[in-house]
């Protein structure tokens, strides 16, 4: 085989609260790289505290691309992320620098690398009918329906994951083809970059859980509820929007609606964040050729440099 002449891109993925930002900034400085955020909440303006967005000081030192590119009222899809990220990656590589993709939105990483199937556009009428079915039959009923028309997708999608469940059924209703079939019909393409994938995750899960709880407390102290109250006060946002469904924001909105008290807000938010971290780690375990680094042991930056040098850069 010949030498791979594609430019290098480094993927730095990890669960929430794993310490990705600090290491990404250090990696940017050492590798002459540019950071591209891979985070479905950080794309939204005004969602700063709850998304753990880098501070203004951190962004001044190490700018992150694809942060603050959308208003929270505007949905942003994985397909749009792929287009935007590839454009940024090509621009960075053309400057002789290394694209450094950093974040925890695993679907964004997956779509970036694998491409986007030729899926039909969203249909408000079909989606409304499906949401009525959820009210009548529950998510379990819709999952059973998906299992009949698309057993492959049903095996991948958890019965309590309404967003992916509704989208899979919507695709079938609109196109007459299952999501799995449309993906099989997708022609593979060569990714225009060679990648070094690094997974940041504490080996001890309980340590990650402690960090999640501590960080949510710090968010509350930093004014997270005031941030969500300000977003609500705009009048054009609702808890059904993708931005407001983000972990933490969803629970804070419900708290401000009076659905539960502050103790329950903390409990529910921490539990939801732990569940998110568990899903992220599940994705990571199936990621091809992922190099694992514990960010809380020894000198993780040095281990990352060794992986980069070993990759032939």
Summarised one tens digit per residue, pLDDT across range 1-39 is 567 889 999 999 999 999 999 999 999 988 889 999 999
Q: C-alpha distances in angstroms, 32 versus 60, 65, 97, 293? A: 16, 15, 6, 21
Dig out the tokens for 284 from the structure. Answer: 């990571």
Residue-wise pLDDT for 49-82, tens only, equals 999 999 999 999 999 999 999 999 998 988 899 9
Report d(CA 278, CA 13) in Å as an integer: 14
Residue-wise pLDDT for 252-279, tens only, equals 999 999 999 999 999 999 999 999 999 9
With CA atoms as reference, report the closest residue to 185 among 170, 173, 175. 175
Report d(CA 293, CA 290) in Å as an integer: 10
Which residues is 99 bridged to in the sheet? 34
Q: What is the mean pLDDT of the chain?
A: 92
Name the DSSP class of 80.
H
Q: C-alpha distances in angstroms, 279 versus 46, 193, 273? A: 26, 26, 10
Report d(CA 59, CA 56) in Å as an integer: 5
Give percent of the chain with pLDDT exceeding 70: 96
Does residue 305 have a pLDDT over 60?
Answer: yes
Does residue 189 have a pLDDT over 80?
Answer: no
- DSSP-derived 3-state class of residue 291: strand
Q: Are the CB atoms for 300 and 308 separated by under 8 Å?
A: no
């Amino acid at each position: 085989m010949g030498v791979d002449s594609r430019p290098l891109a480094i993927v730095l993925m990890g669960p929430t609260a794993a310490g990705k930002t600090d290491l990404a900034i250090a990696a940017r400085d050492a590798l002459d790289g540019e950071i591209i955020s891979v985070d479905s909440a950080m794309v939204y303006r005004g969602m700063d505290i709850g998304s753990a967005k880098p501070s203004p000081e951190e962004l001044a030192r190490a700018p992150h691309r694809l942060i603050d590119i959308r208003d929270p009222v505007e949905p942003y899809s994985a397909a749009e992320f792929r287009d935007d990220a590839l454009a940024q990656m090509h621009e960075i590589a053309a400057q002789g620098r290394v694209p450094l993709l950093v974040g925890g939105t695993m679907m964004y990483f997956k779509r970036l690398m694998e491409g986007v199937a030729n899926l039909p556009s969203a249909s408000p009428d079909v989606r409304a009918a499906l949401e009525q079915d959820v009210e009548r039959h529950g998510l379990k009923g819709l999952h059973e329906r998906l299992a009949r028309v698309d057993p492959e997708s049903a095996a991948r999608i958890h019965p309590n994951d309404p967003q992916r469940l509704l989208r899979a059924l919507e695709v079938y209703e609109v196109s007459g083809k299952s999501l799995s079939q449309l993906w099989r019909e997708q022609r593979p393409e060569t990714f225009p970059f060679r990648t070094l994938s690094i997974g940041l995750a504490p080996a001890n899960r309980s340590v990650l859980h402690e960090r999640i709880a501590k960080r949510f407390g710090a968010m509350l102290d930093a004014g997270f509820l005031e941030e969500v109250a300000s977003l609500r006060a705009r009048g054009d946002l609702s808890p059904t929007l993708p931005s407001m469904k983000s972990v933490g924001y969803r629970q804070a909105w419900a708290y401000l609606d009076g659905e539960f008290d502050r103790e329950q807000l903390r409990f529910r938010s921490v539990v939801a964040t732990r569940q998110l971290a568990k899903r992220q780690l599940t994705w990571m375990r199936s990621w091809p050729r992922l190099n694992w680094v514990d960010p809380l042991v020894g000198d993780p930056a040095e281990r990352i440099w060794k992986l980069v040098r070993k990759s032939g850069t």
